[in-house]
Amino acid sequence: MESDDGHERAGALAGLSLPARLVVAAGAAVIAVTAAVHLGMVFLHVAPSNTVTKQNAAAIDDYIYPEYEQNWKFFAPNPLQQNVAVQARAELRGPDGRTTVTGWTDFTAQDGAEIRHNLIPSHTQQNELRRAWDFYTNSHDVKEVPNGLRGALSEQYIRRIVVGRLGGGQDGRTVQRVQVRAVTTLVAPPSWSDEKNEPKPAYRVLGWWPVTAADRTEAKNR
């Protein structure tokens, strides 16, 4: 027996004009197809290697990385025991052509401040910068040489995040180049543990990246 809610929904749809019902049907179809594609891509990404995943590896990777990559570090036998702070600075050029370099801005600390005491932090605050840095480090060796086809994409991704957060310029001066670094500090072991670690932070400093017109356009749209 159909519920009262069902009768109300059916009555509401019946009361719509034919064009309106077509729009509703089209919208529902788009949502269903989008959900099916997303679930299918994620399933293929986490599924064991097979003929379908091998033949469509490039398309699957382009869809999954970097936003939807699955990460299991939290559940590993030895969880991540480091605090990684991603920081950046910019080279600015003034109207007179002279350049100046800003100090380092700690974007990880900014995200942490936004998340702290926030009951519903955004996905961007929680994951964007962290996943972008993971994407970069997984795509480069210790000499900052890309170790795969996604190296250039990972550089572009983190560069545009940095430009977006720094803004296109400051006090009439345009951002010409940006530099990113990560400061890694080991988490102190608990008092009952025999583990020893070095509290001194380790720095991974990347080279200067020129800022392109596309980077600035992306920053304005953020």
Q: What are phi and psi of 85, to 5 degrees?
A: -105, 120
Mean pLDDT of the chain: 84
**Among the listed ranges 161-170, 172-181, 199-208, which one has the minimum average pLDDT value?**
161-170
Half-sphere CA count of 213, side-chain side, radius 13 A: 0
Question: Which of 1-15, 30-44, 171-185, 186-200 is least confident?
Answer: 1-15
Summarize pLDDT for 115-172 with one digit per residue, the tens.
999 888 888 888 899 989 999 999 999 899 998 888 999 999 999 999 999 886 677 7
Cβ-contact 127, 107 below 8 angstroms: no
Query: What residues does each domain of the chain span?
Result: 4-64, 77-221
Q: Which of the 8 DSSP states describes residue 77?
A: S
pTM of the model: 0.65
Q: What is the pLDDT of residues 28-73, one digit of tens each?
A: 999 999 999 999 988 888 888 888 888 888 888 888 876 676 666 5
Single out the residue of 204, 111, 203 nearest to residue 165, CA to CA.
111
Count Cβ atoms within 10 A of the Cβ of residue 156 and give its class: 0-12 exposed, 13-18 middle, 19 or more buried: middle
Work out the pLDDT band at 80, boundaries 50, 70, 90.
low
For residue 66, whether the previous peptide bond is cis, meaning omega lies within 30 degrees of 0, is yes
Q: For residue 116, give the amino acid letter.
A: R
d(CA 135, CA 148): 12
The pLDDT value given to residue 71 = 63
Residue whose structure tokens are 């699957």 = 60
Q: Which one is predicted more confidently, 11 or 149?
A: 149
* Reported confidence tier of residue 96, pLDDT bands at 50, 70, 90: confident
